[in-house]
Amino acid sequence: MNYEISNSPVFTTLTIHLRQGESFRAESGAMIAMSPSIALKTSGSGKGLLGSLKAAIGGESLFASLYTAETGSGELVLAPSAPGDILKFELSGNTIFAQGGAYLAGDPKLTVSMQGSVK
């Protein structure tokens, strides 16, 4: 899987190049365009109903879209729902704290959840 971030800093788009069999998860409504070789499946954004509700409370969509290149390689173009930039974060076992609605897309194995802050 390769990707390109274009049109920064305000109307940024993310183009993902998937090889056959590869999948990518994105927030519901983030897709601008996709190749016909890519199949779309919608599921809860978290692990189970409780995980999906936690993601929704945290400002993420209750549902997530799973894109899979089924019949060959393909291209997927995503953009945030509001004008803004897209940044890449390598997590590899790390945690990142972000404002609700900041998550756009990532590996299907990535866990997105909500945590409150204490003042």
Mapped onto helix, strand or coil, the DSSP state of residue 8 is coil
Q: Say which amino acid occupies 61.
A: S
Give CA angle at 92 (35, 106), nearest 5°.
Answer: 25
- CA–CA dist 103, 112 (Å, integer): 8
Quote the CA–CA distance of 103 and 88 in Å, as a whole number.
Answer: 10
Whole-number CA gyration radius for the chain: 14
From first to last of its 119 residues, the chain has per-residue pLDDT tens of 999 999 998 899 999 999 999 999 998 889 999 999 999 998 765 555 555 555 555 555 557 899 999 999 999 999 998 888 999 988 877 888 887 778 899 988 887 776 665 55
Helix/strand number for the chain, H first, E second: 1, 8
Architecture of domain 2-106: 4-Layer Sandwich (3.60)
Q: Residue 63 has what pLDDT?
A: 72
The predicted-structure confidence for 9-23, as pLDDT tens digits, reads as follows 889 999 999 999 999
Joined tokens for residue 92: 């590899």
CA end-to-end span of the chain: 41
Q: Where are the domains of the chain?
A: 2-106
Q: Nearest CA to 63 among 20, 30, 15? A: 30
Q: What pLDDT, on the 0 to 100 scale, is given for residue 55? A: 53
